[in-house]
Amino acid sequence: KAGVTQTPRYLIKTRGQQVTLSCSPISGHRSVSWYQQTPGQGLQFLFEYFSETQRNKGNFPGRFSGRQFSNSRSEMNVSTLELGDSALYLCASSLGQLDGYTFGSGTRLTVV
């Protein structure tokens, strides 16, 4: 079966711009989570959605937002980009409970 698909794979944006990243979870997975991965901070939790509702949110500023659609696909948006937002953004989906995540390959965002 198809895995978690993230688009685009690579993105270069300028400071002050906004960006939208997309994630298609594994069919049947209703839980979608987003993480930011950087060499200095490791994996940091952004938010988790289940059935179009945000269930958990990490400690990120309001510039980071997300949503989930009725087909479980999810998007995250970052507004007013800063250089420090350069990172690998990983989406993960799960059947829920304690099954563990299946991760996508990530979107590498570079802010210049």
Q: Which residue has the tokens 């420090």?
A: 84
By CB under 8 A, residue 102 contacts other proteins: yes
Q: Of residues 56-85, which lie at the interface with other proteins (CB under 8 A)? A: 56, 58
Q: Which of 20, 43, 52, 110 binds other proteins (CB under 8 A)?
A: 43
User: What region, left, alpha or beta, does residue 42 occupy, with left being phi > 0 and alpha being psi -120 to 50 degrees?
Assistant: left
Q: Which stretch binds other proteins (CB under 8 A): 14-22, 67-75, 79-87, 95-103?
A: 95-103
Per CB under 8 A, does 96 bind other proteins? yes
